Structure 1
Amino acid sequence: MKETKAAGTTAAPAPVLTPRDLNRATLARQLLLRRAQMSPFDAVTHLVGLQAQEVKPPYYALAARLDGFGTGQLSELLAARDVVRMAGLRSTIHLHTADDTLTVRPFAQAALDRELRIFRKGLVGVDLERLAAVARDLVEEEPRTMRQVRDALGAHWPRADPQSLSIAARCLLPLVQVTPRGMWGHSKQVVVTTVEHWLGRPAAPPADRQDMVLRYLAAFGPASVRDMQTWCGLTRLRDAFEGLRPRLLTFRDQHGVELFDLPDAPRPDAETPAPPRFLPEFDNALLSHADRTRVVPVVHHGRTWQVNTVHRPLLVDGFLAGVWGITDDALVIELFERLTPARREEVLAEGERTLRAVHPEDAYDVRFGTVLP
């Protein structure tokens, strides 16, 4: 693939990257082009966290990306407090390393502030600084459920909206979900405390914006400013990119949007084979770009969710091609398009491999069928 010189030097017009070019580059960064010989801890670090709104998605995410992954590896990291579940990027629950938890959460604070503003009508007369102090004392005295937090805050502000009070605590404080929440086969209800209390370490300054740009590009590039803003839920990141421009390469997508990238990051040939991959619902590979066509063909946009139900995506040849789910006796695959016999065999084999990683002791079949209602 032809590349530009680093920005800031005399160079030809930025090369255009097709959706397939971007697909292969993104798959390589996401450890989805071939399974990585990497520890789960290092993978979570490289990917700058995993979506973790439910318990199982991080396990499926790593099973699709790492060679030899077993669910116990991630559960052990959670039990040792080496990785932590908390709200941050896009104001959604992510699983981060302990170090990233202390810096990425304050980096993403503006997204949480924006969510809090939505609930301000239910917080009339509430002193938010005092609310944060009361909630901190409560959860650091003993980890609490969000219902317990809501009820305790309601005793201080009985006229406030109960849901708004609990949302405010979640947005104002770096609340982590303590174990066994998130542990495979042992997870229980959400109970929270502060990250400082859970890790026994003081709060840290927000991660540097330029450092976060570099980490984002390493895991998701080539990408535009809007792509990164979609990933983290923040705005006004243009200056961080511009400050790095002399160190980056630039490209254009098929619509003329400027894309930035690290000079030494992998950009495989567009025809590089891409094996099937079974991903979890809300996988960041599908959610972290303003233009998702690098993974989700336009004809399949919106087909992984229905009302409040989100289905697990199946990638074939690097692109969304179906959904999957596990029933009482089988991993069921619903395809959006006809596949060749050879492709179908590849999909079935990958389904079996997924089951061996996450359900090694259970007897499941793998079959094509219907997942969507």
Structure 2
Amino acid sequence: MIDDARYEIRGVTGDDRADLLELARFLDSVNLPNDAAAMEPIIRRSERGFSGTEGDPRRREHVFVLYDRQEKRAVGTSLIVGQLGRRDAPYIFFDVSKEERYSQTLDRYFVHDVLSIGYSYNGPTEIGGLVMHPEYRRSPEKLGMLISYVRFLFIAMHRQDFQSHVLAELLPPLEADGTSHLWEAVGRHFTGMSYREADRLSRRNKEFIRGLFPHGEIYASLLPERAREVIGEVGRETKGVAKLLQRIGFRYWDRVDPFDGGPHFVAPTDQITLIQQTKRAILAPGDPRPAAKRFILGRDIDGPPWFRACAGRCELLEDGSMRVDSAARAALDARDGAEISALPLP
């Protein structure tokens, strides 16, 4: 049985620190590190992003938490980075291209994958940091979908604050101990660092990448087979995410992470179907009809946590207003006349 009243999504606050660290154990990425010292500035940046204290939208970060009101703990998280790539922190990637070679003398033909490092100082909006606690991954409420979809609802609500394209970087196949075969074949030779060491350093400073990585082309043909196999491949744990992204308008961009080879999926912001489907309306009195469909509903609020969302039944009326069920109304703390944004759920 679906119990939407049990869960809410909101902006992260300092009260979620311990729960966020617990969730980080299942990912431990640049965006969600399993490190208390590194987590603190992420929470602070998110609070400044939601509150608008950070005046430049390109520098804003928004960390969402899915909160179990019954158990009183955050059980999922996701985030939006306003712009990936600035002068003080460039967006760094490997472009993956094909190069054809033919010898008439030998009648030999080859197609090589070629990696070329690139830097952007005016990159796309990034979505990432998607984690669900394992105990909640198969819930009837489809909680993983909710914490993923809320990012597109929020972008639609604040479209002017985000870039023309949205990027999602997916994890490639990694060994059980986190070893990246691409890093072992390339990055380690140019930095003398382990994958984990370089990943941690890149959270604070990316200068070493430009200073030490090769500026020319790298032929994947020269790399060990295990390294070649992970370039642009989606890891087993993220195959479901890749399918979702493709359904809503994302495509592999022939671009990968220079550390682990994880694929970059990109979509024009205004062509993402979930953003196109998001509607904004004024809350009308009364309950929706019994057959009303399930939506993810969200609104900005004037104080911490600055944003709230939940799932609930919603009816869009002919006059442009909407009715939502009483549980959703209470979760959003919304009265008649409040502005609500709604994204239909499958």
Q: Normalised by the shorter chain, which TM-score bucket?
A: under 0.3
Q: TM-score, normalised by structure 1?
A: 0.25
Larger proportion of helix: 1
Larger proportion of strand: 2
